[in-house]
Amino acid sequence: MNKIKIPKNRIRNLKTFTLGQKPYELQYLNPEKIKNNLIDLCSNDYLGLSRDKDVIKASYEISLSEGLGSGGSRFITGSRPIHTLLETKLAEWLNQEKVLLFPSGFQANIAAVQGLANRNSIAIVDKFIHNSLLVGIKASGSKLVRFAHNDLKDLENKILKFNSANKSILIIVESLYSMEGSIAPLKEISEICKKYNVQLLVDEAHALGVLGPEGRGLSFDLSEDITMLTGTLGKSFGSGGAFIACKSNIGEYLIQTSGAFRYTTALSPALAAGALKSLQKIKNNKEWGIKLLSASKKWKKEIHQNFNYPIKGESQILSIIIGQEEKTILLQKYLEKNGFLAIAIRPPTVPVNESRIRLTIRRDLNLDILKNFISVLKAFT
């Protein structure tokens, strides 16, 4: 194989973690095999459901009756009652006609874009959409046009510029941006889409389970105006896999045409059963999202008052913008030495000079942890 030529500052080392003793801890197995319990301030397991005993039990029990893996695609041996049940329950919860499961959000996003766009399409997308959506655009053969982050004027200008009789337009946004923690003005975006009669795809990966009415996502009240939404089960749901939600006719079209749906081993029954249990828990604990957002506001305020770098984020995702890559890495290492795991996010994931520490606030973090974090942060120079 050719030697990979990657600039030194783009090389990332894979780190290995196992669970720590406390529900909010991870243990870093460093190269010297020293085990370090670190407070998890960066996973997307926002509600702590990945280690919820009932969720794990549901996964275990179904594995005994269905096997661990599905053994085939949905059209061969892979379709199990748990898939249909989870799809139905998710559709009900989201007030959508059809839900289709996928093995990952990355794959669901590719399928979503390929289902809505082709060589005759123009995908007009927010500058900060996830890599999986960009891969989907490439795979669909459509033309990529970006608009400035959350900028409605720029979005409208781009639609006006590229609107033509022989091209179809697909707008793609996230509801909660994974690296900015910013929220899309979805109502206004959907109104623009209606005005110009263009399609709208919303990636709800980080919002579902936390944001929107009872955690049902930021597009919940707009389900009539959104062509398709994607969600993942690997974040707030603490499981794995993902889904597309849409109208029945679009769902049927995907079942018949989407390679990403048809030619892949179906989601493991264990993950589907775990996700279904998580869904039940989210439904039974409607206050979780609101409480988490209020805790996150507190973290943001304390960090803002005690640390001399800008902090962004309107949700459970907060970003402390450090700027320089080297300094951000130093801060990550310093936090790690002091018991906190929060990863430095650097270009190309974020723009140059906008390197940051991305924090995710979890349901199980308490005020003592916040106090301790602030005193550690204050001592960083």
Query: Stretches 105-113, 137-145, 184-192, 250-258: which one binds ligand PLP (CB under 6 A)?
Result: 105-113
Size of the site for ligand PLP (CB under 6 A): 14
> Measured between alpha carbons, how far is residue 344 from residues 91, 147, 356, 377 in Å?
36, 26, 6, 14
Tell me how far, at minimum, the Cβ of 10 lies from ligand PLP, in Å. Answer: 19
Query: Stretches 62-70, 114-122, 202-210, 358-366: which one binds ligand PLP (CB under 6 A)?
Result: 202-210
Q: Which neighbouring-strand residues pair with 199? A: 170
Chain residue at closest Cβ approach to ligand PLP: 105
User: What is the x/- site pattern for ligand PLP, positions 18-37, by CB under 6 A?
Assistant: --------------------
Tell me how far, at minimum, the Cβ of 234 lies from ligand PLP, in Å. Answer: 4
Tell me how far, at minimum, the Cβ of 11 lies from ligand PLP, in Å. Answer: 20
Which element (helix H / strand E) includes 172?
strand 168-174
SS3 329: helix
SS3 11: coil
Query: Stretches 14-22, 85-93, 100-108, 114-122: which one binds ligand PLP (CB under 6 A)?
Result: 100-108
> Measured between alpha carbons, how far is residue 174 from residues 4, 19, 109, 311, 325 in Å?
32, 30, 11, 20, 26
Query: Stretches 81-89, 98-106, 114-122, 216-224: which one binds ligand PLP (CB under 6 A)?
Result: 98-106
Q: Which of 190, 121, 177 minimizes the C-alpha distance to 149?
A: 177
Question: What strand order describes the sheet that includes 355-360?
Answer: 311-312, 317-323, 355-360, 344-345
Distance, in Å, from the CA atom of 365 to the CA atom of 296, rounded to the nearest integer, reads 10
> Would you count residue 128 as binding ligand PLP (CB under 6 A)?
no
| One of 105, 181, 209, 215 touching ligand PLP (CB under 6 A) | 105
Query: Stretches 49-57, 102-110, 265-273, 357-365: which one binds ligand PLP (CB under 6 A)?
Result: 102-110
Tell me how far, at minimum, the Cβ of 205 lies from ligand PLP, in Å. Answer: 4
| One of 101, 159, 186, 205 touching ligand PLP (CB under 6 A) | 205
Type of residue numbered 72: G
Q: Which of residues 136-195 bind ligand PLP (CB under 6 A)?
A: 174, 178
> Would you count residue 266 as binding ligand PLP (CB under 6 A)?
no
Tell me how far, at minimum, the Cβ of 109 lies from ligand PLP, in Å. Answer: 5
> Would you count residue 245 as binding ligand PLP (CB under 6 A)?
no
Structure tokens at 133: 């959506």
Distance, in Å, from the CA atom of 52 to the CA atom of 6, rounded to the nearest integer, reads 40
Contact yes or no for 173/126 (Cβ under 8 A): yes
Tell me how far, at minimum, the Cβ of 354 lies from ligand PLP, in Å. Answer: 17
Q: What is the 3-state secondary structure (H, E, C) of 251-308?
A: HHHHHHHCHHHHCCCCCCHHHHHHHHHHHHHHHHCCCHHHHHHHHHHHHHHHHHHHCC
- 50 or 232: CB nearest ligand PLP: 232
- 202 or 377: CB nearest ligand PLP: 202
SS3 152: helix
> CB atoms < 10 A from the CB of 325, how many?
17
Tell me how far, at minimum, the Cβ of 298 lies from ligand PLP, in Å. Answer: 24
> Would you count residue 132 as binding ligand PLP (CB under 6 A)?
yes
By CB under 6 A, name the binding residues for ligand PLP.
104-106, 109, 130, 132, 174, 178, 203, 205-206, 232, 234, 242
